[in-house]
Structure 1
């Protein structure tokens, strides 16, 4: 049994895996392997003789979410790197802490400098990738990793961890695009568009990591209020974000009608 096999992860996210079966699959140093998995962010617990993700029994309200955004000097983790990272810790609807840092880099295209406003003169003075990734690993812990297009941010951070000699991420993850598409109608679901339409974060500076992480945090809070009452645990939330039927996309004419009605109410 391979720990990262999708079938194994599915079992851990649902009914769990019996203790003997799971530990035997880890080999002779099962205890050490378990500790390493936890250090990589896997929120695994042993309960009543069964291993499962803690998120299968933790309520959505009590879950610690870490909302993350990265800016990079390209789109491929294998060839490019993070130039800025920002993150927000959220629990019970309250922001507990934030993290942000530029990252040392000597190569940023003119286009990316223009989009992000991040200049090489700034990244040349920034902490090394190794220092930032180690700090962020401690900040993230085993919180649920949240991003707007979470796969991009998660894969980039995980690749950077491995680049500096750390292990890949094993945190549970949640995408706010997926969640938004299943909780409210919109013409588009890009972060800048939703921020403008929903007035999520008035101080937003798009394409800066902490600002985008803060905007995503406010979007997450908004979507959590729109969930079906049948959802209770974090794993149910994650499954809902991937499996529930998507809302219909708003057509431009319908959106204009809603905006007129909104103005009329004002």
Structure 2
């Protein structure tokens, strides 16, 4: 049994099937790839949905094909006001101009094909797209990928590195469009700008940032924990039928800067439950947690699968 990160990908003995089977990050400059960008109603792929798919297929560094469609769903197509303010997409626009989500995702998956995927903070996009391919029983989106954001963090150290920051610094544009196709094209221009100006030392530095860690060996140093470690400084209890070994799960938490507790308490932050136990309303440990919450505690309940996918996001970051 083991839990480790290899080339930025989390590996968990006994529970690997609970993780999205996304590909491996390849910080490099490729001449053939598909650059993509999506728009969504929010940040959480479990609660929010895709509103627009966009991408360009690149061969020998030139765009040879493009894809762009708004997307609508059989049920709710509500778009939060702050999203409409950001990109102009409205519910009525989705209904009037959009393509049914199954059709759009089928077309987009075919458009991507076996290409290496590129994008800006592309893991965000891949989570939504991976879940849609799984939902509609399309070929698994396990393509390797290039994250242009990782290159930006090396090229512009200790600076804000949003896409808008990069396109302004490179003189590409003054505003970010927040539309799939337009942002894909702008990200390609940023990628090409990096290609022109990167040194071999900078590329090696970017590649060295991809994590390789044994998460059960020793407690991690603060620089290894990173900014988005969901475990750091959290008190966590595991319960129910877990895929991973419970003793390894507890060691994992302690090594990542958290504190594994043997039983639920008023100061517990997260209760991690086996995926099947998560839906058991009569689970005694969750009932105890709810009693603490009624007295002022703030215990959150996560399924094992949700927890491990959060850790995988940290591993890939």
1:135 matched to 2:107: yes
TM-score (norm 2): 0.53
1:165 matched to 2:137: yes
The match for 1:190 among 154, 159, 162 is 162
Shift of 1:9: 9.3
Structure 2 match to 1:218 = 189
1:96 matched to 2:64: yes
Structure 1 match to 2:80 = 109
Rounded to whole Å, the distance in 1 between the matches of 2:187 and 2:146 is: 12
Structure 2 match to 1:71 = 39
Shift of 1:231: 9.8
Structure 2 match to 1:149 = 121
Name stretches of at least 5 consecutive residues in structure 2 with no aligned partner.
10-20, 212-317
1:228 matched to 2:196: no
Structure 2 match to 1:87 = 55
**C-alpha contact 1:67 1:146 (8 A) present in aligned 2:** yes
Question: Measured at CA, do residues 97 and 146 of structure 1 come closer, stay the same or move farther in structure 2, by a change above 3 Å?
Answer: same
Rounded to whole Å, the distance in 2 between the matches of 1:90 and 1:98 is: 9
What do you get for the CA RMSD once the two structures are aligned? 3.3
Name stretches of at least 5 consecutive residues in structure 1 with no aligned partner.
11-39, 44-54, 244-266
Rounded to whole Å, the distance in 1 between the matches of 2:170 and 2:6 is: 38
**C-alpha contact 2:37 2:54 (8 A) present in aligned 1:** yes
TM-score (norm 1): 0.62
**C-alpha contact 1:72 1:81 (8 A) present in aligned 2:** yes
Rounded to whole Å, the distance in 1 between the matches of 2:167 and 2:52 is: 21
**C-alpha contact 1:173 1:238 (8 A) present in aligned 2:** no
**C-alpha contact 1:41 1:141 (8 A) present in aligned 2:** no
Larger radius of gyration: 2
**C-alpha contact 2:150 2:206 (8 A) present in aligned 1:** no
Question: Measured at CA, do residues 186 and 101 of structure 1 come closer, stay the same or move farther in structure 2, by a change above 3 Å?
Answer: farther
Question: Measured at CA, do residues 152 and 121 of structure 1 come closer, stay the same or move farther in structure 2, by a change above 3 Å?
Answer: same
Shift of 1:239: 3.1
SS at match of 2:72: coil
**C-alpha contact 1:84 1:103 (8 A) present in aligned 2:** yes
Which structure has the highest helix share of the two? 1
Question: Measured at CA, do residues 159 and 88 of structure 1 come closer, stay the same or move farther in structure 2, by a change above 3 Å?
Answer: same
